Amino acid sequence: MLPRAVRLGLYGLTLLAVFAVALSSFTRFDFWWYLKSGEYIVQTRSVPQGDPFSFTAPGRPWINHMWLTQVVLYLLYESVGRIPILVGKSALVAAVFGVVLATCLRRGVHPLLAVSVTALAALAGQGYWHVRPQIVTYLFMAIYLHLLQEGWERRLRRLVWLPLIMVAWANLHAGFVTGLGLLGLIVLGETLARLLAPGRGGWRPLATLALISAAAGGASLLNPFGIRAVLFPLEVVSSREFMTTTIEWFSPNFHDPQYRPFEAMLLLLFAGLALGGSRLRVTDVILAVTLTHLGLSSIRHIPLFAVGVAPILADALRGALGVVWARRGAWVHALGPLGAARLPGIWPLLRSPLGHAAVVGLLLLALLASYGALLLDPWTSALVQDLNERAYPERAVAFIKNEHAPAPLFNVYVWGGYELWRLYPEYRMFFDGRTHVYGERLVEDYIEVTTLRPRWKAVLDRWGIQTILAERSSPLTEALHTSPEWRLTFVDRDAVVFVRNTPAHQALFERVGPVARPTPEEAIRATLRAALEAFERGQDEAAIRQFREVLALDVGNPVALYSLGLLLDRRGNRAEAEQLWRELQRTAPGTELAAKADRELRRRR
């Protein structure tokens, strides 16, 4: 048994490492429209039932299920700014895994195994520890599972917390339906367990749990939208257009190294169920299978898998390791004398519990140091980069507002929330991150324009669009440059603003004067600079897209060929990476980058 001080030290180190992992995760979605919605609710002292922010879906029903989180974020942002929000988000994630760790320990898992699985689970969800209301769902989910772990029948009074938590959960995030789902699965599992083993646990505690679950279901209706908030998630997942166009609903790509910890958890779970599954309850198996399905069907659900499966995995591995140790062969017994002979000074320490704790502690320190290093580098530090308006079209939005560019405004989805935050109420949105509000028809209209499908001009005309804020390097921007119907009025590093070329806007054109279209060389330099900055920040998807845009403008650009190769190789696309490096050797022989490409190719032979 490890001394108490050692155990507490390991627990603290684990949660500190989790904090660093969470702090290093950049918020990529929705934050800015959360702020605007929170501001609207505070100023009007009401939760809107219809959309107040767009001109394409005005008044359309809006189930703003996370209204209370938005109010909290807005008040925090206005009073203390972004840094405390980022620190608070990371502290919440650490709290989530503090509960996960406590659940593992309550199940009797050895502390070293418990902290190891907890750290792995935190890494599995590392791409999703954003400043988003989902964090609340992960915390409440962990608390629910802690209260409902094995032996809940002896702690029935504690279950009164379930409906009380549900009241807050139903107003903070739509993930409260996860809580209802967990209750349903646990009632199902406990029923099956009693049917398979009569006399186990008794039916009276199960009846109490069913009543408390019903009370939690009733508590979930205590929100501004009633039963509609419960049905809302079902409406979202039943939308084909939404599910097939929103990246976070896609299945994980296991060629991407980001999903390696998730893959590791899956493989360990399979091994644990095979060797140590006899330790698990029927309920554990039902939960593990359900959460595995969710994680494999959508990357958005990987954190749910990590939080919910970690205690089950730890318990299964506990049983599996016991089976493996019981079946150890003679060679294991031979290791003792061999180790004592070869390492007489440290072998007793290595075999001792303190030695094992030291190894785990060093691994946790390495994890903490690796993510701490990211925070010290200004290019990769979330404290410098995350939620920083410099990463958004700040100047372009200021131009639109200061020059009173004519409405309606067409905006790109990726910046929709930021534009809403900075431009409403002077401008209403065409489209933003509240995709479910707009409906499939408008999603199709948006895709029609941004991908230049045959009706793209007709869509702009039908909505009467007068100003377009677009990404500088995009097919839409290239088409607008060649169209006499549109005039370029502003150019920034990442954004351009076009205004419809009509006499009604002549005064604006005279104020801003002629704006030169960026030459291809300027476009290449700007896109390459943006790609390298994204590469430095660890924003791989954006960097890959921008390096490909550079190569579309400048076939054979050596920096893009080499850097894109590194990114693709890191994501498991080795064949294309080697093809790019060979192309670099062919087009730029004798250069330093060609020599680097040659070394990369040699390393992989």
Q: Give pLDDT tens digits for 520-532.
A: 777 788 888 889 9
- For the ranges 19-28, 98-107, 550-559, the lowest mean pLDDT is seen at 550-559
Asked if pLDDT for residue 349 goes beyond 60, the answer is no
Structure tokens at 576: 């294309």
Between 41 and 537, name the one with better pLDDT.
41
Between 590 and 92, name the one with better pLDDT.
92
Task: Give the contacts of 294 (CB within 8 A, at least 6 positions apart).
Answer: 301, 304, 305
Asked whether residue 252 is domain-assigned, the answer is yes
Same domain, 532 and 509: no
Mean pLDDT of 468-492: 92
pLDDT band at 571 (very low <50, low <70, confident <90, very high): confident
CA distance 394 to 400: 10
- Residue 256's pLDDT is 84
Task: Please answer whether residues 495 and 469 qualify as being in contact, where contact means their C-beta atoms are separated by less than 8 angstroms.
Answer: yes
Same domain, 496 and 558: no
What pLDDT digit, counting tens, does each position of 253-281 carry?
888 888 999 999 999 999 998 887 777 88
- Residue 238's pLDDT is 76
Mean pLDDT of 397-422: 95
Asked if pLDDT for residue 62 goes beyond 90, the answer is yes
- Residue 343's pLDDT is 57
pLDDT band at 474 (very low <50, low <70, confident <90, very high): confident
CA distance 399 to 416: 16
Same domain, 149 and 293: yes
What pLDDT digit, counting tens, does each position of 81-138 carry?
999 999 999 999 999 999 999 999 999 999 999 999 999 999 999 889 999 999 999 9
Edge to edge, the sheet with strand 495-500 lists 409-411, 467-471, 495-500, 486-491
Task: Give the contacts of 343 (CB within 8 A, at least 6 positions apart).
Answer: 350
pLDDT band at 322 (very low <50, low <70, confident <90, very high): confident
Q: Total structural domains in the chain?
A: 3
pLDDT band at 184 (very low <50, low <70, confident <90, very high): very high
pTM of the model: 0.84
β-strand partners of 50: 61
Query: What is the domain-level CATH number for residue 482?
Result: 3.40.50
CA distance 142 to 308: 7
- Residue 342's pLDDT is 57
In a 13 Å sphere around the CA of 228, the CA atoms on its Cβ side amount to: 9
Same domain, 486 and 535: no
Between 201 and 103, name the one with better pLDDT.
103
Same domain, 215 and 296: yes
What pLDDT digit, counting tens, does each position of 290-311 carry?
999 999 999 999 999 999 999 9
Between 365 and 195, name the one with better pLDDT.
365
CA distance 99 to 142: 6
Terminal alpha carbon distance of the chain: 47
Asked whether residue 408 is domain-assigned, the answer is yes
Structure tokens at 38: 């929170």
Same domain, 573 and 526: yes
Between 151 and 436, name the one with better pLDDT.
436
Asked whether residue 11 is domain-assigned, the answer is no
- DSSP letters for 114-140: HHHHHHHHHHHTGGG--SSTHHHHHHH
Asked if pLDDT for residue 537 goes beyond 70, the answer is yes
Asked if pLDDT for residue 408 goes beyond 80, the answer is yes
CA distance 474 to 494: 10
- Residue 55's pLDDT is 96
CA distance 224 to 230: 11
Structure tokens at 266: 């899956």
Same domain, 236 and 265: yes
Same domain, 157 and 93: yes
Mean pLDDT of 339-364: 71
Asked whether residue 546 is domain-assigned, the answer is yes
Same domain, 497 and 540: no
Asked if pLDDT for residue 223 goes beyond 70, the answer is yes
Asked if pLDDT for residue 4 goes beyond 50, the answer is yes
Asked if pLDDT for residue 148 goes beyond 70, the answer is yes
Task: Give the contacts of 31 (CB within 8 A, at least 6 positions apart).
Answer: 73, 130, 131, 132, 387, 417
CA distance 149 to 494: 50
pLDDT band at 497 (very low <50, low <70, confident <90, very high): very high
Same domain, 295 and 417: no
Task: Please answer whether residues 150 and 281 qualify as being in contact, where contact means their C-beta atoms are separated by less than 8 angstroms.
Answer: yes
β-strand partners of 469: 411, 497
* Element housing 6 (H / E): helix 4-23
Asked whether residue 538 is domain-assigned, the answer is yes
Asked whether residue 141 is domain-assigned, the answer is yes
Task: Please answer whether residues 368 and 16 qualify as being in contact, where contact means their C-beta atoms are separated by less than 8 angstroms.
Answer: yes
Query: What is the domain-level CATH number for residue 534?
Result: 1.25.40.10
Same domain, 49 and 105: yes
Dihedral of CA atoms 190, 193, 195, 200 in degrees, nearest 10, equals -90
SS3 state at 502: coil
Q: Last residue of some domain: 460, 485, 517?
A: 517
Residue 117: which of 280, 309, 273, 282 has the closest Cα? 309
Asked if pLDDT for residue 348 goes beyond 70, the answer is no
- Residue 188's pLDDT is 94
Between 378 and 332, name the one with better pLDDT.
378
Asked whether residue 21 is domain-assigned, the answer is no
β-strand partners of 488: 498
Q: Last residue of some domain: 282, 301, 325?
A: 325
Phi, psi angles (nearest 5°) of residue 190: -70, -35
CA distance 547 to 558: 11
Structure tokens at 373: 């290093």
Same domain, 461 and 595: no
Quote the domain boundaries for residue 481: 389-517
Mean pLDDT in the chain? 89
Asked whether residue 20 is domain-assigned, the answer is no
* Element housing 443 (H / E): helix 435-450
Asked if pLDDT for residue 19 goes beyond 90, the answer is yes
Q: pLDDT > 90: what percent of the chain?
A: 61
Does residue 406 have a cis peptide bond before it, meaning omega lies within 30 degrees of 0? no
Give me Rg for the CA atoms of the chain.
Answer: 28
CA distance 287 to 281: 10
CA distances to 137, 352, 560 from 320, in Å = 31, 21, 47
- Residue 331's pLDDT is 47
Q: Last residue of some domain: 517, 538, 554?
A: 517
Between 557 and 97, name the one with better pLDDT.
97
Look up residue 200 and give its DSSP letter.
Answer: S
